[in-house]
Structure 1
Amino acid sequence: MTRPGVEHDAQKHRVGSSTDGSNTAERVEAGHHAPDHDHVKAYSIYTSSEKWFIVAVAAFASLFSPFTANIYFPAIPTIAAAFHKSTEDINLTVTVYLIVQGLSPIFWGTLADRWGRRPMFLGCLLVLFLSCIGLALIPTDAYWALMVLRCVQAAGSASTVALGAGVIADIAAPYERGTYFGFWNVGPMVGPCVGPVLGGVLAENLGWRSIFWFLVIASAVCFVVILLFLPETLRAFVGDGSIPPPRFYYPLIPIVGRNRQKVTPQDPSTRPARRRFNNPLILFLYPDILLLLFFNGMIYSVFYAVTISISTLFKSSYTFLNETDIGLCFLAIGGGMLIGGVITGRVLDYEYRRVKNQMFAKFAIETDPEKKVRPEDVTKDENFPIEKARLRLMPFYFGLFVVATIVYGWTLDAGTNIAGPLISSIFVGYAVVANMNVTQTLIVDLVPGQSAAVTACNNMVRCSLGAVMVSVINPILNAMGPGWTYVLLPGICVVLSPIMIFTYHIGPRWRARRRARRQAREAATAS
């Protein structure tokens, strides 16, 4: 028996699904508020353990985007001395990295929604691998090459986040997507916290070049794992995973889902239609998507303002800390993010099932037998309130984010025991991941079939806002101190918070208009 829950956008996601609604209707009329799913086609052929393996590989690959950026931070003074440049000149390599990090997923993500996840993953990791070799061997009189190779490095690493989100949307139905997104999101979110710790240890003991050699090895390991084991998941190629992909897309050791793939040649007419190229920037014209992306980006920029200043603030407030101790302070916020990713993902799935069961109960009361509407139809896009299922707990998560950030700033400003800012940073990490899990999951739900593209847009917005924050946080801290700085930044988010209320109430109307336009285009094409 399949786990309760059917994707809210089933008419777009499901491949060849059909059910017998009569028995289900009888059960609902008899007082059962949830339909029988024995005959509902599963969203994916993969077992739970196989899904977790796929998500773990995607999280490993997605780790490289922020990890590659932040592992570099502790070595900036050393690299500046080696290249005979100022710290500001080396900081410029961080800025250009963030710019390319925001732009490159638009290219890779769009290709992944058209040509598949595996080749794009392998291409990104190959670019990252080669750029890290170049950075490890770069002569110290070639500052221009450092700038160029950091851009190439960003182009290879940044897009793995969009690809990972696409993989999860391929294999996980909405009722379970929150859990998988929560676990996967730990990779790209913990990177900024773990990267500086490892970078500091490597730079101090083995020199700054060892940072890039480490990335060479790590990217090679990830490349080999994907090459050997990761199946192609793009639904336009493999449907629910049961359709064998083109030969080029097979993993070298096809053990995941292999026994459940069809052994007979697939009729081309039953293969899901491959999506035509769509400009991902069009997604910015969708009001609900734009508002969610902007709000998500603001949360991320405040998170970046916290992490990028940890070294400076802890060093000035707690002078007894050495470089290794300061690096370990990043683990507090990283631990909070890990806890938040696991817990809030499961809560998201619970919320989806709760709203779904409420809809079934409502249907059981209001159903008109003459309409011949199946109970499972309530989980379709036109009937299911996906905004309600995802955003109900957002006020709690957002409130925790605001309070924890303010407490973090004032404990540093007051010079309290070091336990104060460390404990509050745990809650900051938890709240940041909770807020971003909610918005990330919802935007993927809103544009099925374009998960990698919309995640690329998300990456572009949050990296752009993060780059702005990097350039202004030090002047703000110098002018206001950490206490008022970390009142101001979440305060800006509070001013913008009606965005989420607006999306909650008006979002379904925008979604209905998009659906009507899409159906009109499909009708015109069919005629």
Structure 2
Amino acid sequence: MESASPSPTPGRGPYSILTSRHRKVLTVLLGLASQYHASAQAINLTITLYVVVQAIMPIFFAPTADQYGRRLVSLANLLVYTIGSIGLVVNDLTGRKYAALLLLRALQAFGSSACATTIWGVVSDVCIPAERGAMVGPVTSIPNVGTVIGPVVGGLVAWRTGDATWVFASIAIFSAVTLVSITVLLPETARSVVVSSSEGASIGNNDELPPREVKSSAATPSEKPGTPSRFRFPNPLSSLTIILSKGTALILWLGSCTYAEWYTINAAWPQIFKQNYGWSELYIGLSYLPCAVTIILAGFVAGPWMRARYRRTAREAGLPADGHGVDGFPVEKARIREMWIVYGVTHLSIAGLGWAVQFRTHPAVILALQGVAGFVKSLLFSSFNTLLIDVHPDRPSTAAAAASLTRSGLSGIGLAILQPLADSLGWAWFFTLLALVVGVTQGLACLCC
């Protein structure tokens, strides 16, 4: 029988009774569920409404997931998403009412909003800090690949069928299959809900965890984690308290500006390839593939690299690397160390993309630079988001909701300034300015962490 991983700390129960095989299954499930964020790009309609709803709703769902469990919130939201997807197919077949399109896209966004925040909660639930990178890397890569694969799949389906109906149908089928898979395979993992059992129905031994890790706003002083209590509607403002916290605000900036910068750049490619190279919609969709490959590779590189940096930091500090918490551990150093070369490559490649576009170099040069930028961006994003759940182990989903709100806000700003600045500065100086602003502010934030 496969033993649980990681090994328990002496004198303390295992952090999670889930085996490494179970965590691999969870990694795939969580990655598939979180791909729904990419559907806003796969269907280039009502994107603003979709992004706004998806950004705001996690502040309501994430505290619920932290208090009452990941599984129920995930299933409820995926069910809503599936209903919205099926509704889009029906609407497309029965008259294509625009009002119905808006409503159903909002319903999709409502349903998908909890996915990204829930997956970060599960990662925190089942992995000790030293091992989180092994799960974070692939889980982060899968939805990022979805972001760049979405236009390819949507373009191919629409091109082959000549109709948007099958684009909606493909999403509906995918969401239904994922819903069934998660219903069957996803256990409850929230440490405020489950307790250790010999039957393996839950994880961890919460009575033996450090106080920081069993803290839950759902439990009163007389209640233990796992004890049923009267339902209390979670406070949606809890995500805002995380955003306004000085230390967390810096971490949120590091991760969110990385995402927003990449989101803004991706939004520019259709216009660039169509105007500069005369590419069709199909070719534009296919242009995202090289970046998808490097993002996948980054996911598998990020995990071992984060683990190695964490253990190296533990040795230097004379601390155990397999502790269940990060109290007294220099976790900021562990997550940020050795990242300067990644910063440099990231922003040099982004500036280089601008100049390559400006001088209309061969498309192969642009695609290669896209791949490099996607690879290093994924390394940054994985490290910063892992650090966020490290410092909020008692409410990781709420912290992820704060990150989602921040990312969406910065992405909206990026999209708003994209066209005016590109028109006035040209692509070369727009990309260069973007790289300078984000690179310098990221560097300052890292020095302050």
Identify the residue that residue 341 of structure 1 maps to in structure 2. 299
Q: Is the 8 A contact 2:78 2:112 kept in 1?
A: yes
Q: Which runs of 4+ in 1 moved over 6 A?
A: 1-6, 259-262, 273-276, 375-379
Equivalent positions of 1:459-498 (< 5 A) are 459-498=404-443
Once the 2 structures are TM-superposed, how far is the Cα of residue 43 of structure 1 from its aligned partner? Answer: 1.1
Give yes or no for contact 2:128–2:322 (8 Å, CA) kept in 1: no
Deviation string, structure 1 residues 294-322 (Cα, Å, up to 9, x no partner): 23222211101111121221122223x33
**Against the structure 1 CA distance between its residues 227 and 347, is the aligned structure 2 distance closer, same or farther, given a 3 Å change threshold?**
same
User: Kindly tell me: are residues 274 and 501 of structure 1, through their superposed partners in 2, closer, same or farther at Cα, counting changes over 3 Å?
Assistant: farther
Q: Which AA in structure 2 matches 1:204?
A: W
In the alignment, structure 1 residue 217 sits paired with structure 2 residue 162: no
Which runs of 5 or more residues in structure 1 are unaligned?
7-36, 74-89, 245-256, 263-267, 364-374, 505-527
Tell me, yes or no, if the aligned pair for 1:190 and 1:334 is still in contact at 8 Å.
yes
Other-structure match for 2:47: 94
Q: Which amino acid aligns with 1:98?
A: V
Q: 1:274 to 1:334 in 2, by over 3 A?
A: farther
Q: State how far apart, in whole Å, the 2-side matches of 1:498 and 1:451 are.
A: 25
The question of 1:104 aligning with 2:57 is answered yes
Counterpart of 2:125 in structure 1 is 170
Deviations 1:197-231 (A, max 9, x none): 01111112221121111111011000100111111
| Shift of residue 44, structure 1, vs aligned partner | 0.8
- What residue number does 1:87 align with? none
User: How far apart, CA to CA, are the structure 2 residues paired with 1:144 and 1:2?
Assistant: 51
Q: Deviations for 1:376-427, whole angstroms, at most 9, x for unmatched residues?
A: 8988544211111111123222222101111112112111111101010011
Give the match for residue 39 of structure 2.
68
Deviations 1:1-30 (Å, cap 9, x if unpaired)? 987788xxxxxxxxxxxxxxxxxxxxxxxx
Q: List gaps (5 residues or longer) in structure 2.
A: 206-221
Paired letter, 2:268? S
SS at match of 2:287: helix
Supply the distance in 1 between the matched residues of 2:322 and 2:25 (Cα, whole angstroms). Answer: 31
Which structure: larger Rg? 1
* Alignment counterpart, residue 59 of structure 1, candidates 20, 31, 50: 31
Q: Determine if contact 2:129/2:325 at 8 Å carries over to the other structure.
A: no
Partner of 2:247: 288
Q: Kindly state the Cα deviation for residue 141 of structure 1 after the two structures are TM-superposed.
A: 6.0
Helix, strand or coil for the counterpart of 1:447? coil
Structure 1 residue 457, shift from structure 2 partner? 0.9
Which residue number in structure 2 is paired with residue 116 of structure 1? 69
Tell me how far apart the structure 2 counterparts of residues 131 and 284 of structure 1 sit (CA, whole Å). Answer: 30
- Residues in 2 aligned to 1:471 and 1:376: alpha-carbon distance in whole angstroms: 44
- What fraction of aligned residue pairs are identical, expressed as a percent? 29
Matched, 1:49 2:4: no
Query: Quick one: structure 1 residues 165 and 243, their matched pair in 2 at CA, closer, same or farther if it must change by over 3 Å?
Result: farther
| Cα distance in 1 between the residues matched to 2:113 and 2:324 | 34
Q: Are the equivalent residues in 1 in contact too, given 2:128–2:324 (CA < 8 A)?
A: no
Question: How many residues in Structure 1 have an aligned counterpart in Structure 2?
Answer: 423
The residue correspondences of 1:119-134 to structure 2 (distance < 5 A) are 119-134=72-87
Contact 2:53-2:110 at 8 Å conserved across structures: yes
Question: 1:260 offset after TM fit, Å?
Answer: 9.3
Establish whether residue 237 from structure 1 lines up as the match of residue 193 from structure 2: yes
| Offset at residue 181 of structure 1 (A) | 0.6
Report if the CA contact (8 A) 2:13-2:204 is conserved: no
Asked whether the equivalents of residues 165 and 452 of structure 1 are also in contact (C-alpha less than 8 Å), the reply is yes
Give the superposition deviation at 1:191: 1.8
Give, in angstroms, the shift of residue 463 of structure 1. 1.2
The superposition leaves residues 417-463 of structure 1 with CA deviations (integer Å, 9 ceiling, x where unpaired) of 11101010011111211111111000100011211111011011101
Contact 2:129 2:324 survives alignment (8 Å): no
> C-alpha distance in 2, partners of 1:352/1:259?
27
Q: Name the CA distance, whole Å, in 2 between partners of 1:99 and 1:260.
A: 35
Aligned to 1:228: 184
Following superposition, the deviation at residue 115 of structure 1 comes to 1.3
Measure, in 1, the Cα distance between the counterparts of 2:65 and 2:348: 39
Please name the residue that 1:195 is paired with.
150
Contact 2:388 / 2:399 at 8 angstroms: preserved in 1?
yes
Residues 243-293 of structure 1 deviation map (CA, whole Å, 9 limit, x = unaligned): 77xxxxxxxxxxxx459999xxxxx97655689745222112311111221
Evaluate the alpha carbon distance shift between residue 376 and residue 200 of structure 1 in structure 2; reply closer, same or farther with a 3 A threshold: closer
Who is 2:219 aligned against? none
Q: How far off is 1:174 after superposition?
A: 0.4
- Distance in 2 (CA, whole Å) between partners of 1:260 and 1:479 is 56
Identify if the C-alpha distance between structure 1 residues 377 and 469 changes in structure 2 by more than 3 Å, giving closer, same or farther: closer
Q: Give me the whole-angstrom Cα distance separating, in 2, the residues matched to 1:495 and 1:477.
A: 20
Contact 2:33 2:115 in 1 (8 A): yes
The AA in structure 2 aligned to 1:154 is A
Tell whether 2:107 aligns with 1:152: yes
* Distance (whole Å) between structure 2 residues aligned to residue 461 and residue 259 of structure 1: 32
**Cα distance in structure 1, aligned partners of 2:203 and 2:249:** 39
Rate the CA distance shift 1:382–1:310 in 2: closer, same or farther, 3 A.
Answer: same
Measure, in 1, the Cα distance between the counterparts of 2:166 and 2:227: 46
